[in-house]
Chain A
Amino acid sequence: MELLFGALDVALLASTIRLVGPILLASLGGLTTERAGVFNVALEGLMLVGAFFAVAGTYWTGNPFLGVGLAVLAAVAVALIFAFVVVDLGGDQVVAGLAINILALGLTTYLVKPVFGTTGSFYDPKMPGLPEIQIPIVHDIPVLGTLLSGYSPLTYLAFAVALVGHVLLYRHHWGIRLRAVGESPVAAGSVGISVRRVRYLAIVASGVFCGLAGAELSISLVTQFVQGMTAGRGFIALVAVMFGRARPIPTLAACLLFGFAYALTLRLQGGSVPPQFVAMLPYVATIAVLVAVAVRARRRRTALLPVTEVVLEEGSIATP
């Protein structure tokens, strides 16, 4: 316990906020599709595509903001494939999502060679990362300055979107339409909402968020691309959506919890605990959170997810 409390300080909290960006952005994408009735297992792959093209765009143009733009475009392009299979072809959401993940892992690993001329990973010391934003006056306040100032623009954007998303989801007609499509596509269709359009837009939005998430990972937290560098963050983001039952503020809370696990991982590296066990922390924390949520849900007799249920499509696999 002493280890834990000794580690609890302002720097650790600042590190939590720094590391939460990719998970928070991806979970906002997952939340959006979840509300439209699409269980989005593809977050992991979309994020990886974003991470790759953020580095590629920055490498080509020398401007990290153009890198972010390219990351978003690429992730949206892959998200459109997912949307086509899931929405237009009526494909199994989980299988299609996993296919996107395998596609993303293969495609980005493949492209490292023709694009950068290296294999496995790419790092160039001359390549700029996203700048840290120092908020003028706040920056000079002792504790508050460390907590509120000095993050990447995407981190500020992520928190802003989570808060604005809360308002949009419950108070704006966009949010109402989105929720209607998720909760009852037939009813939504009967009052003139195009279910197809809303689902497409939701999946494209998740592409945008995952592109940003990948960029935050590869040109802000570090400035390099490593194959498979998302390392399960997309799935952890999915768990955050489940924890928050697809509500923005509770999802944000779950992300902060996972961000804290990552911050603790960094803090404990080089200590007496073997690095492999330290690195397990975010994954163990995620499973622990799932168990806690499920126990709570069972007491209240509610489902773990508000909208979609995770089942294989009838007859696709299980029938002989």
Chain B
Amino acid sequence: MARAEAIVRRSLNPRAIADALVVPALAIGVGILIGAVVIVVTGGDPVAAFSALLNGAVGTQNNVVATLLRSVPIAIAGVGIGVALRAGALNLGGEGQMIMGSLASAAAATAVAGVPGPAGIVIALVAGCVAGALWALLPALLEVRLQIPILITSLLLNYIGALFAAWVSSYPLRDLSGSAAVAQTALIPQEMWLPNILAGTRLHLGIVVLVILPLAVAWLVRRTVVGYELRMTGANRLFARYGGIDVDRQVVVAMLTSGAICGLAGAVVVLGLNHRYIDTFVSASGFAWSGFIAAILTAAAPITTVFAGLFLGGLQVGAAGMTRATNIPLQIVDVVQATIILMVAARPAIRAWLARRTRAA
């Protein structure tokens, strides 16, 4: 526990926060500014839009719950993708891994329906993790064995996974009882649902993962030998290899872990939110890409990634409220998000510019 406290204390150190937050804060500011410009150009009122957005995100208890519900899968996926980034593996397959995790947990939850409460839920969660990890294994093996970039294969596997899940939920596991327009699997038994933790809302126990997971990953990455080797592999593969680290094994382990966490995110969507696999829900919600943005924005630091995930979740839920209030399409948020990552991509130049400003002042 003392270790966990040390990690929290270090990541809450004011100077460390200031240093780590300047670029993200600037990025978010410019992102919102660009979003406002787009709103003005397309004939909207940015002030009304953003106040509707803020209200939609955190204005009422229901809105706060909606923000939390949306942030859970984003933040989990973000932490997962961050693990791969730390090892220098560009896992763009978070979406496919989440989809496979969702599908597997839905199938497992139905299959083990007789198992009493917690054990059954754990089995379904593990099934999601395993499916996600397996979906990340192929890109990892192709990179270490054949030097095929993970970023390409993991991305292409998103489409294959989405189509596979579409088939499973349209034919073998299709729920024929309802008349839903979208293919979906049958509702899982109620004892397999993640317990509700706030009466009158849909807030579920999955939110606890947002506390435990980043601490666990932060501990793993910063305080264990595996984590050290992982960081070395990401920082400089040649140096890591020179130091005796089995770099290929690190990349595979990082991708397996990353895929497992993304699979967990998918399982939480099924067990906590929808209680069934709904086709195209994961990709349409853009959970994995938002997770990727959260990870990139925070340089893959697990604890801050969760906060970035909460921010992005709030932005998206708030945008839905803004759309209801002002009729501005909610995809304006994607424009804000893309601007944020462009700024982060330019981080070295921004750092240099800030340093010049500081010297000049």
Contacts and interface: CB of A to CB of B under 8 A. Distances in A.
A105 B332 CA distance: 11
A42 to B, nearest CB: 11
A12 interface: no
A90 B349 contact: yes
Contacts of B163: 276-277, 279-280
Given A235-B155, A290-B153, A114 B346 contact: no
Nearest to B299: A317
A167 interface: no
Contact of A110 (B159, B329, B344, B349): B329
B108 to A, nearest CB: 21
Interface string B156-198: 1111100110110011000000000000000000000000000
Given A89-B349, A277-B163, A110 B152 contact: no
Given A113-B329, A231-B159, A320-B222, A310 B341 contact: no
Interface string B209-250: 000000000000110000000010011100000000000000
Contact of A106 (B221, B335, B345, B348): B335
Interface string A91-111: 110111011101101110111
Given A235-B155, A295-B146, A310-B149, A110 B332 contact: yes
Nearest to B142: A291
* Chain A contact residues, majority secondary structure: helix
A143 interface: no
Contact of B160 (A107, A236, A280, A304): A280
Interface stretch (B52-60, B70-78, B84-92): B84-92
A304 B146 CA distance: 9
B202 to A, nearest CB: 25
Interface in B253-291: 289
B86 A317 contact: yes
A221 B157 CA distance: 25
A286 interface: yes
Nearest to B344: A95
Contacts of A283: 156-157, 159-160
Contacts of B151: 41, 94, 310
A209 to B, nearest CB: 19
Contact of B296 (A81, A284, A317): A317
Nearest to B42: A114
Given A85-B345, A280-B159, A283-B159, A312 B90 contact: yes
Interface in A227-249: 231-232, 235-236, 238-239, 242
A314 B231 CA distance: 12
A287 interface: yes
Interface residues of A, number: 61
Contacts of A106: 331-335, 337-338
Interface size class of B (residues with CB under 8 A): 35 or more
B147 interface: yes
Contacts of B332: 106, 110
B236 to A, nearest CB: 7
Interface string A283-320: 11011001100110110000110000011111111111
B292 to A, nearest CB: 8
Contacts of A236: 156
Nearest to B336: A106
Contacts of B142: 287, 290-291, 294
A286 to B, nearest CB: 6
Nearest to A274: B167
B339 interface: yes
A91 B344 CA distance: 8
Contacts of B149: 304, 310
Given A91-B348, A277-B167, A283-B156, A103 B334 contact: yes
B43 interface: yes
A100 B221 CA distance: 30
A85 B344 CA distance: 10
A242 B346 CA distance: 26
Nearest to A290: B148
B345 A92 contact: yes
Instruction: Identify which of B86, B163, B164, B167 gathers the most chain A CB atoms within 10 Å of its CB.
Output: B163
A119 interface: yes
Contacts of B345: 85, 89, 91-92, 95-96, 99
Interface in B104-161: 142, 146-149, 151-153, 155-160
Contacts of A286: 156
Given A92-B345, A106-B333, A313-B348, A232 B159 contact: yes
A96 B147 CA distance: 22
A112 B42 CA distance: 12
A318 B88 CA distance: 6
Contacts of B147: 294, 297-298, 303-304
A99 B293 CA distance: 9
A316 B335 contact: no
B285 to A, nearest CB: 13
B341 A109 contact: no
Given A294-B142, A318-B231, 13 more contacts: A91-B342, A92-B345, A96-B346, A99-B344, A114-B42, A239-B152, A280-B164, A287-B153, A290-B142, A298-B146, A304-B147, A312-B85, A320-B222
Interface of B: 38, 42-43, 85-88, 90, 92, 142, 146-149, 151-153, 155-160, 163-164, 166-167, 170-171, 221-222, 231, 234-236, 289, 292-293, 296, 299-301, 329, 331-335, 337-339, 341-342, 344-350
20 contacts: A85-B346, A91-B346, A95-B341, A95-B345, A99-B338, A99-B342, A100-B338, A103-B339, A107-B335, A110-B331, A232-B156, A280-B159, A280-B160, A286-B156, A287-B142, A287-B157, A304-B147, A312-B234, A317-B299, A318-B235
Interface of A: 41, 81, 85, 88-92, 94-96, 98-100, 102-103, 105-107, 109-114, 119, 231-232, 235-236, 238-239, 242, 274, 276-277, 279-280, 283-284, 286-287, 290-291, 294-295, 297-298, 303-304, 310-320
